[in-house]
Amino acid sequence: MMVQMFKSKIHQVKVTEANLNYVGSITIDGDLLDAANILEGEKVQVVNNNNGERLETYTIRGEAGSGIICMNGAAARKAQIGDVVLIITYAMMDLEEAKTFKPIVVFPDENNLLKK
């Protein structure tokens, strides 16, 4: 049996940009992607704490250390600059792996940077 499990999360980052005239996706600081073990192009769920919106999209790697969280394309309609979002990934696992799997949760600072 396969189950879908919580894989990783970037917890409470602020949207820094919204670019409606883009093909789509979310651009995320490369350091945050690496810390959360999220790949470029990986499907993510974005949960907006400010308005309750939830959406699925894929990631684009932003400049490391930039703090960028940019909602692109239609996703730009779901968040405003300054909104606080959570970025979550899930993975399919067999039941035995799922019983022992430990997800990664990243808690960036107020500038969307990794805490030192």
Going by pLDDT thresholds of 50, 70 and 90, the confidence category of residue 57 is very high
CB 17 within 8 A of CB 70: yes
> From CA 50, how far away is CA 52, in angstroms rounded?
6
Higher per-residue pLDDT: 22 or 63? 63
Q: How far apart are the C-alpha atoms of 101 and 116, rounded to whole Å?
A: 26
Give pTM, 2 decimals.
Answer: 0.95
Is position 110 within any domain?
no
Residue 27 sits in a domain whose CATH number is 2.40.40.20
Which amino acid belongs to residue 12?
Answer: Q
61 assigned to some structural domain: yes
The parent domain of residue 11 ranges over 2-95
8 Å CB contact between 92 and 4:
yes
Q: Look at residue 105 and tell me if it is in a domain.
A: no
Interval 70-81: pLDDT, tens: 999 999 999 999
Question: Choosing from 8, 22, 58, 90, which is the catalytic residue?
Answer: 58
Q: Is residue 100 part of a domain?
A: no
Does some domain include residue 88? yes
Q: What is the mean pLDDT of residues 20-46?
A: 95
Residue among 84, 75, 80, 81 at smallest CA distance from 107? 84
Count of domains observed in the chain: 1
Q: Is 58 a catalytic residue?
A: yes
Q: What is the pLDDT of residue 116?
A: 74
Confidence band of 85 (pLDDT split at 50, 70, 90): very high
Residue tagged active-site, from 22, 25, 66, 90: 25
Alpha helices in the chain, H assignment, sequence order: 30-35, 95-100
β-pair partners for 6: 90
**Does residue 24 have a pLDDT over 80?**
no
